[in-house]
Chains A and B, each alone.
Chain A
Amino acid sequence: MSETVKIMAVAEEPEETLSMNPKKFILWLFVVSIVMLFAAMTSAYLVRRAEGNWLEFEIPSIFWYSTVVLLISSVSMHWAYKAAKKDDFGVLRTAISITFAFGLAFLVMQFLGWQDLVAQNVFFVGNPAGSFMYVFTGLHAFHLISGLIIILFALRAAFKLKIHAKNLNQIEICATYWHFLDVLWVYLFGFLLYFN
């Protein structure tokens, strides 16, 4: 009897209630919803593509360069986070600014990519193969703009010395979101290359 009691007591040890920062948790749930948005889009793409009558075209090569630019911006974002951890404010500001500039550059390059598509006679209106291309890049760009706004807020906080080793929440949220947008683009680009 006492043996069973002991076992049960071990099994029912009081669990710590999870105490992750609620704001960070909220961010992750947002990420889930964005993932589902794009999962739906890419599934729709596959379903539609399987039905045939699919326009084949070259994916603009500038998307290769824009991918590299976005990857670099992720690196500089990580650099900013490291700097914040070390209370290195000068580096922090520079790194966030670089991230912002590369993010902007990415957007411009995506736009140039659209112009390449138009030059190939692939328009938003027409065969869904082309329309999907614009929808994927456009929706991603829309989310990237929201990421840039969050970076601007982080930049302002950095200048007001509100980001430091003891207050990393904002820069962590900002960095997580930015890395996610980066991974999302790599996924979309790889998807478009593979299933073109």
Chain B
Amino acid sequence: MASVETNAAAAAHVEEHDHHEELSFIRKYIFSEDHKVIAKQYMFSGVFWAIIGASLSILFRLQLGFPNLNLEWLRPILGNWIDDSGKLDKEFYLALVTMHGTIMVFFVLTAGLSGTFSNFLIPLQVGARDMASGFLNMLSYWFFFLSSVIMFGSLFIETGPASGGWVIYPPLSALPQAMSGSGLGMSLWLISMALFIVSQLLGGINYITTVINLRTRGMSFSKMPLTIWAFLLTAVLGLISFPVLLSAALLLIFDRSMGTSFYLSEIYIGGEALPNVGGSPILFQHLFWFLGHPEVYIVLLPALGITSEIIATNSRKPIFGYRAMIASMIGIAFLAFIVWAHHMFVTGMNPFLGSIFMFLTLIIAVPSAVKAFNYITTLWRGNIVFTPAMLFSIGLVSFFISGGLTGIILGNSALDIQLHDTYFVVAHFHLVMGAASAFGFLAGVYHWFPKFFGRMMNKTLGYIHFWFTFVGIYLVFFPMHYIGIAGFPRRYYSFTSYEAFRTFGDLNMFVSIAAIFTFAAQFLFLWNFFYSIFRGRKAPQNPWRSNTLEWTTPVNPGHGNWPGEIPAVYRWPYDYSKPGANDDFIPQNVPYSQTPESNLPHENALIALEKEIEAQNYNDQFKQPH
């Protein structure tokens, strides 16, 4: 195989080109500027936050499924959040729901997912030594870390963390006297999120710059893996939408601490009139959802990118509709900015405006359907290799379809009047955004684990983990659709006082049991993950027989990723099972001149251009003294 020869040649150069300066422990593993170390830092932080976020959901599922359960045994952990009758404190329930949402959306699926895989894969797949600015990248992680510490700390304060829902609508969030969670907890939430936004902007700016400026020779936009396209568009979405959230949060901070009235008007609280006049709480919703909706795609697009790569590799087939995939991602990214008001159909919006936003929202179904169709047609008649990563990717496609269909229902402004803020919405976004993106993260971990740690994860445990999680998630969220259609509002502490809702008690109990089961299954993954880091089977260089550039680096890539020169790229990343080829995959760095047996006529014509590609200018960060 041609790539093997290239790699052998590269390996011979290891000694000469190996990096010279030895870094201290702190610079190498803590305040590191190496994208691979930063990616791991994000990954471990993301896993940590996922455990916290999921545990919080188990706590409120206990309350919802077993309203009469005595939780006295949780007193050692929760202290006075368990009230005298042995039940969960009502305000703490609201805090749990809020923190579960905040943690999962921002800390796990935004920072954990993009932070891990954008950092890790962008330089490795576009052929760069590192990110455009290692320093900004390090800064990005440490801003995130600081933000994490503050958010984590807010869980332990006496008045409790923020409790107004992860969307923090004023006036509830703007008035510290409104509820105990709107006090210090809310302030810490805002500080933490401001730092988080700074971290995301620094990270995103770096991702975009790296993708655009640091591609290796021959890596044109039309030869980039779909993962990179997804990460690029995600970063662009973040760059445009996060500053808007910062504006919204800034005005909220002024309202809270300085007494301005951007969002507040004519409020009585505790029988007393507040001096604030002239504000508009709906204004906050507009600003918030201008970020909030793109945020959904910030969470989902990286997972879709990872899936494209894994499905093509393990179907041993080129991705179906490469350009259609890119076009639909661009379409989704564009539409993401002009649909925000579908979260606000019931705010008294002009019905005509509502119908415009409904129309735009429903258009998103088109590019999404193109993607779903392309995944299925890629799988169609492929030589499918069912690795755990592949199973999780197929699971993602399943969630994406079943959760996406309910999106079409919710996007209708007339139907939304009935379904708004019910468990139907909860079921919808948990499937399409939560579970699908979490599966993207898990698929990515299983697939790139050999590149992260140079070892393999246990396959059998991976299979068990997949089936338990996949079945568990459907058992949790499918019944929720029915509960939602029946009219259960979300965020309610208890339904036992309403006669109409009592009949659904057993269904709620079923959901809670399924949730606990799914949560327990994740410990299989955690065990597999940590055990394999130290004791896993040693990984070969290209375990999945994949085409992309990261598999041309040594098993444990050092600083600068490639020991010798960065390979040039001659072909797209999806040459799997090409008719006539000796092997069922041809990596991107194999020139057409080495594969005459499988070249198509127009590819033979490209041989003449190989010299030109090799002579191209590109940014090799090792060429400058550093």
Residues of A within 8 A of B (CB): 1, 4-6, 8-9, 12-20, 22-23, 25-26, 29-30, 32-34, 36-37, 39-41, 43-44, 47-48, 51, 53-55, 124-129, 131, 135, 139
Contact = CB atoms under 8 A, between A and B. Distances in A.
B278 interface: yes
Interface string B570-606: 0000000000000000000000000000000110111
Contacts of A128: 260-262, 278-279
Given A30-B205, A36-B244, A124-B258, A5 B239 contact: no
Nearest to B217: A17
A17 B280 contact: no
A124 B251 CA distance: 12
A17 B618 contact: yes
B490 to A, nearest CB: 27
A111 to B, nearest CB: 18
Contacts of A126: 260-261
Nearest to B216: A17
B605 A5 contact: yes
For the complex of A and B, 5 pairs with smallest distance between CB atoms: A40-B247, A36-B243, A22-B132, A40-B244, A37-B243
Interface residues of B, number: 58
Interface of B: 132-133, 136, 201, 204-206, 208-210, 212-221, 239-244, 246-248, 250-251, 254, 258-262, 277-280, 283, 286-287, 290, 601-602, 604-606, 608-609, 612-613, 616-619
26 contacts: A5-B605, A8-B605, A9-B606, A14-B220, A15-B221, A17-B215, A17-B616, A22-B213, A22-B619, A23-B133, A25-B212, A26-B205, A26-B209, A33-B239, A33-B242, A34-B243, A37-B244, A44-B247, A44-B286, A47-B283, A124-B260, A126-B260, A128-B262, A128-B279, A131-B260, A131-B261
Nearest to A23: B133
A71 B319 CA distance: 53
Nearest to B607: A9
Given A26-B136, A44-B287, A128-B262, A14 B617 contact: no
A176 to B, nearest CB: 15
Contacts of A44: 247-248, 251, 262, 283, 286-287
Contacts of A139: 250
A4 B279 CA distance: 65
A42 to B, nearest CB: 10
A22 B126 CA distance: 15
B260 A125 contact: yes
A36 B605 CA distance: 46
B201 A33 contact: yes
A184 to B, nearest CB: 13
Contact of B209 (A22, A40, A47, A135): A22
A14 B609 contact: yes
Given A1-B601, A131-B254, A29 B617 contact: no
Given A14-B218, A36-B240, A25 B213 contact: yes
Contacts of B214: 22
Given A9-B602, A9-B605, A127-B261, A16 B616 contact: yes
B217 A127 contact: no
Contacts of B136: 26
A37 B206 contact: no
A19 B617 contact: yes
B287 A40 contact: yes
A132 to B, nearest CB: 8
A33 B254 CA distance: 21
Contact of B251 (A14, A25, A135): A135
Contacts of B209: 22, 25-26, 29
Nearest to A129: B278
Nearest to B261: A128
Contacts of A40: 243-244, 247-248, 287, 290
Contacts of A135: 250-251, 254
A44 B283 CA distance: 7
A37 B246 CA distance: 7
Contacts of B243: 33-34, 36-37, 40
A125 B290 contact: no
A22 B250 CA distance: 30
A128 B254 CA distance: 11
Nearest to B621: A22
Given A22-B213, A47-B283, A6 B605 contact: yes
A192 B387 CA distance: 60
A53 B217 CA distance: 60
A15 B220 contact: yes
B210 to A, nearest CB: 8
B282 to A, nearest CB: 8
A121 to B, nearest CB: 15
A49 to B, nearest CB: 10
A8 B204 CA distance: 35
Contacts of B132: 22-23, 25-26
A47 B286 contact: yes
Given A14-B220, A18-B215, A29-B205, 10 more contacts: A1-B601, A8-B605, A17-B219, A19-B213, A22-B209, A29-B209, A33-B243, A36-B244, A47-B280, A48-B280
Given A40-B244, A40-B287, A131 B201 contact: no
B607 to A, nearest CB: 10
Contacts of A19: 213, 617-619
Contacts of A32: 239-240
Contact of B616 (A14, A34, A41): A14
Nearest to A53: B278
Contact of A12 (B208, B247, B250, B606): B606
B244 A17 contact: no
A127 B247 contact: no
